[in-house]
Amino acid sequence: MLRNKQLAAWLDEMKTLCQPDALVLCSGDDREYNEMWSLLLDRGVAKRLNEDRRPNSYLVRSDPADVARVESRTFICSEAERDAGPNNNWVEPTAMRATLNGLFSGCMRGRIMYVIPFSMGPVGSPIAHIGVELTDSPYVVANMHIMTRVGQEVLDALGETGDFVPCIHSVGAPLDSGDEDVPWPCNPNNLHIVHFPASREIWSFGSGYGGNALLGKKCFALRIASVIARDEGWLAEHMLILKITNPEGISRYIAGAFPSACGKTNLAMLIPTIPGWQVETIGDDICWMKFGDDGQLHAINPEAGFFGVAPGTSMDSNPNAMLSMTDNCIFTNVAETDDGDVWWEGMTKTPPAHLTDWQGRDWTPDSDEPAAHPNARFTVAAAQCPVIADEWEDLAGVPISAILFGGRRSTVVPLVNEARSWQQGVFFGAIMSSEKTAAASGKIGELRRDPMAMLPFCGYNMADYWGHWINIGRGDGAHDGDHDGDHDGDHKGTKTGLKLPRIYYVNWFRKNATGKYAWPGFGENSRVLKWIFERCEGVGEAIDTPIGNLPAIDALDVSGLRLDPNGVAALLSVEIDGWLEEIPLIEGHFASYGEPVPTALHQELNWLKQRLLEAKQEAG
């Protein structure tokens, strides 16, 4: 049945450990998808939505104790603690293996073990990688059908000797004879989301939700892939990928990293407000980039679907997301309307007079709690997005012209700032910060550094990851640790003829003196993309400033926006004092990662400080 010897042996080992009642090799076909829903409907955890309003779609309510990724229970078990870095929870691998053996022993009794061969990326792409997830959750099987490519073609691509990332998942709730199952089995008190970077394995126990359980996504495509990318000289990033086309029909591809609550999915599916320009989507969350023979970084979206946050999504904020989910959709923890459709906060200006909330309770606009869980999700095939680009599944990927790093800053950080060099661009990514919103823990307004939006997703020491980015700019990121102490990760050589993407730091959230957003955002962000596009074409005008290249005031197309010219100037100004106040904060940020921070980044920080001091002196 299984030609791949390594896979057959691992399967035997996991079957013996987990003791499922039966084993099913997933085909990825429609019959199997429907069978998963029959099981979930019988269990009472899923409901089929009104066929006339939301064809072939389901609503699922999770256990209220299992509603999101849990970073505090996510572990990177590298051999040395130093290699996990201060950005990860580390447990010594042998000790963790002993814990996991105890947890997984007999954990699938009374359940079926589904074997899901899946590809992250189009099957056959040189940028794609294969995984196999074993799970006892039919909900996970159904979601993996949409989020990845599943089935025999993956096994064929794997062949007899191909490598795969083994991903074992259990909800951690065995059923002994006489036990009655619950709608959403889970084991939140024993939650473990564990990664072994050396052997590239993933073990997940106790949760059936999202990133904890759909192991192709954050666990594989970011945490384990970031380690593989470090070792092989490529980039596995928490980035959207978009295609932008100018009125002359010339297209460019842009990747962008944004922390949560910065409108990443909206940007990936943006509808430009400037006449003649078009934006299409390649991906909304994850981007794998490898060098092509042309010296450019070529990107694929390793996922096949969107697992998007529902609350806040509307025909105003993101029509293309709304139109993606008209049918064939899975909704998790949203509210249900009385006519069997879905609703969430922000979907319409006026909420329905009555709903069933995400926990199955009656809800009215007078209720104290939101109707949908704030982390309620929709799962839908990317192919259903009305603006998915034709080439989104091209095996060779798409050539990336620009990389955006963004954050939510009400002061200091300008609307857009172009790095003068790859090294400065990496510095931008490394210092990315956002003000905390009400949804995040901590004081509102306090700065949270989330380098490259990878803080919860980098599978190794963040400072080494910065070193890897620096090495990528030299054309060969493959390295094997830093044995000679010069902080370059023992960089193996430099390729010539590279055409690296330009790097930009963007901030849609700067406020004016009256506390209002100074930039309209949403579709108007196309104006910033236009300037970036023009810079890549070699025509957009920029001014060299102490912090980077900013658009010349007339270079940013604000026609028809009716913005106060002083407001536009403020969005593109350099606040020398504000930036000087940032310097000790950045120093503290780097100090928190200690000695492995690359020299190149300290250099960038010193140059920034120097140029700001000179500018201050000149200004008198």
**Taking contact as CB under 6 A, which single stretch among the options 136-144, 204-212, 551-559, 566-574 is the one that binds ligand O2Y?**
204-212
Residue nearest to ligand O2Y (CB): 210
Q: Work out how close the CB of 565 gets to ligand O2Y at its nearest, in angstroms, rounded to a whole number.
A: 37
- Token reading at 47: 């409901």
- The answer to the question of residue 406 lying near ligand O2Y (CB under 6 A) is no
Q: Work out how close the CB of 424 gets to ligand O2Y at its nearest, in angstroms, rounded to a whole number.
A: 26
Other beta carbons within 10 angstroms of residue 533's beta carbon come to 22
- The answer to the question of residue 220 lying near ligand O2Y (CB under 6 A) is no
Q: Taking CA 24 as the corner, what is the angle to CA 203 and CA 300, rounded to the nearest 5 degrees?
A: 60
**Taking contact as CB under 6 A, which single stretch among the options 183-191, 208-216, 342-350, 608-616 is the one that binds ligand O2Y?**
208-216
> Tokens 């980077």 sit at which residue?
548
Torsion, Cα 349 355 361 365, to 10 degrees, reads 40
Measured distance CA(146)–CA(150) in Å, rounded:
9
- Token reading at 611: 């140029």
Q: Work out how close the CB of 210 gets to ligand O2Y at its nearest, in angstroms, rounded to a whole number.
A: 2
Q: Work out how close the CB of 265 gets to Mn ion at its nearest, in angstroms, rounded to a whole number.
A: 9
Closest listed residue to residue 49, CA positions, set 66, 61, 63: 61
Interface mask toward ligand O2Y for 298-317; x: CB under 6 A: ---------x----------
Query: Under DSSP, is residue 411 helix (H, G, I), strand (E, B) or coil?
Result: coil
Measured distance CA(306)–CA(147) in Å, rounded:
7
Q: Which of 26, 77, 167, 262 is catalytic?
A: 262
262 a catalytic residue: yes
Select from 24, 68, 123, 455 the one that contacts ligand O2Y (CB under 6 A). 68
Select from 209, 258, 422, 466 the one that contacts ligand O2Y (CB under 6 A). 209
- The answer to the question of residue 280 lying near Mn ion (CB under 5 A) is no
Closest listed residue to residue 318, CA positions, set 306, 330, 332, 300: 306
Express the helix, strand and coil content of the chain in percent, nearest 5 each: 30, 20, 45
With respect to ligand O2Y, which residue has the nearer C-beta, 210 or 263?
Answer: 210
Q: Are 590 and 597 in contact (CB under 8 A)?
A: yes
- The answer to the question of residue 285 lying near ligand O2Y (CB under 6 A) is yes
- The answer to the question of residue 210 lying near ligand O2Y (CB under 6 A) is yes
With respect to ligand O2Y, which residue has the nearer C-beta, 140 or 597?
Answer: 140
- The answer to the question of residue 373 lying near ligand O2Y (CB under 6 A) is no
Measured distance CA(605)–CA(96) in Å, rounded:
39
With respect to ligand O2Y, which residue has the nearer C-beta, 203 or 277?
Answer: 203
- The answer to the question of residue 66 lying near ligand O2Y (CB under 6 A) is no
With respect to Mn ion, which residue has the nearer C-beta, 201 or 237?
Answer: 237
Measured distance CA(310)–CA(97) in Å, rounded:
36
Which residues does the annotation mark as catalytic? Answer: 262
Contacting residues toward ligand O2Y, per CB under 6 A: 68-69, 209-212, 260, 285, 307, 375
